[in-house]
Amino acid sequence: MTTMTAGMTTALRALDAALDAPRLEGVLLGNWRWVVRQRMGTVRDDLIEFTSTPDDGWLAARGGTAFRERNSLLGRLGALGPAVLESPDVEQVRLELKRLVTDIGRHVQRLNDIAYDEVELELGGSE
């Protein structure tokens, strides 16, 4: 299994910071939309790199669940992409993206937990 690296954490923090930047009418709003959209692309790229390959039965099931969850998160991210650039209700889009950042953070933690359990299983831990 490939786990999320520090790059994903950095990408999530950068997106979260961009979401909190001022969103004023005119040029600043256009800049905000563009920066957020770029940060979303970085997060998307990091999510795509995740692959699940644990061989053990119970880890394989958790890996499959994580893979489906990842695909759902990618779908949500993709659906919000055009909204960031076009929606007149910027605050609603921002709130949806904040929820998505939180959900992706939880997903990353699950992946790290699976990777830890996989290593523990290989080493024969906690017996």
**Tally of CB atoms within 10 A around 88:** 7
d(CA 41, CA 78): 9
pLDDT at residue number 6: 79
d(CA 22, CA 18): 9
Q: How confident is the model at residue 27 (pLDDT cuts 50, 70, 90)?
A: confident
Report, at the CATH architecture level, how domain 6-123 is classified: Up-down Bundle (1.20)
d(CA 106, CA 14): 17
Q: Parse the chain into domains and list their residue ranges.
A: 6-123
Q: Can you give 64-118 as a three-state secondary structure string?
A: HHHHHHHHHHHHHHHHHHHHHHHCCCHHHHHHHHHHHHHHHHHHHHHHHHHHHHH
Q: Which residue has the higher pLDDT, 118 or 107?
A: 107
Q: What is the rounded average pLDDT for all residues in the chain?
A: 83
Please name the residues in contact with 52: beta carbons below 8 A apart, sequence gap of 6 or more: 1, 60, 63, 64, 66, 67, 114
pLDDT at residue number 113: 79
Mean pLDDT of 50-55: 55
d(CA 37, CA 40): 5
pLDDT at residue 36 greater than cutoff 80: yes
Backbone angles phi, psi at 24, to 5 degrees: -100, 160
